[in-house]
Structure 1
Amino acid sequence: MQPFEYVVGLVSILLGLALTELASSLHKLLRARARVRWDWQAPAAAVALVLVVLDLWWGVRQLELIGLTMTIGLFLPLLTALLLFYLAAAAALPDDVPVEGVDVREYYTANARYFWLLFAGFVVVAKLHVGLVAYLQMTDTSQTAARLAKLLTPSLILALLAASLAFVRQTWWHFAVLSFLIVALLSSHMSRPLL
């Protein structure tokens, strides 16, 4: 087995666990729908996470295509990002629906700080990994800082927006950032080939 195949295996497991967390929580909410007071925020955050899974999957494929040798130093930031992502996926939706029911808006409000700080941390660590990979690929170092800034700035802005959701309680702000995130992720996926 090549080192990259080990990486893909672990990435697949962690992404699969994240999707399983989301699907399992959604299944429990749908089964107990009569005891669930629905709201749009937590499900929208879950949809964004599913779209991020697609982004991660294609991103790992790109690592294979560029032929970069995977080292522990390159792998640890990726592993850290995936663990943060899994924790965010586990926090996106309520795990159980008690007999008295669950209010999805209350759940989202109570967990927003935890969820969005995990997500922001994931974005920062994942993009630092991307920046490290890009830096290792650069042969012309004369424009290194400018090229890395151009590569990392959009994601760092996204991390700041996500972190803002941990502290700003206004529903309109959550709507704006979640809508932006979902639209941006959807538009980035529309032109990607499956293979």
Structure 2
Amino acid sequence: MRSQMIASLLALTLATPVLAANPDVGGAPMFETKNIVENAVNSADHTTLVAAVKAAGLVDALQGPGPFTVFAPVNDAFAALPAGTVETLLKPENKAMLTKILTAHVVAGDYTTADIMRRAKASKDGYFNMVTLSGDALSATVRGKNLYILDEMGNASKVTIADVKQSNGVIQVVNKVLLPR
């Protein structure tokens, strides 16, 4: 009887698919069952981004059904902007510009890095072009084993943490702020 229980348990264990766990971001676990905002608020590396999303009034939009792919800059990316830029953008009178910048980091759809890289490699020019929610353009390219996202200004931002699955899309953590024209 005991050997039958062990065999049944082993069979059940082998038949159960193993899902890859989401990577931690900013020292916090990211849960596939939570939406983009619910996860982002727990990342110590994204406090500036979360503050900006709140100031722009985009919380409800990013909690929507999506799916969305968000290229999420870390705090250091915002800190690398010229002095005073973030503080200026967070002022109520600059909400339209802040909204444009933030939505220039969001693409409709659920794009994994493997999918983006495959599309970039398959194109004649080595770029996968995307249109953001702001209507601006992003391009993705592969350099070695790394995926880079280029904004309309030609600035390249490296994906540093890939494929953080959310209930309404995926977050790709990037090391630079993407700027629209």
TM-score normalised per structure 2: 0.29
TM-score normalised per structure 1: 0.28
Q: Which has the larger radius of gyration?
A: 2
Higher RCO (CA 8 Å, separation ≥ 6 residues): 1
Q: Which has the higher strand share?
A: 2
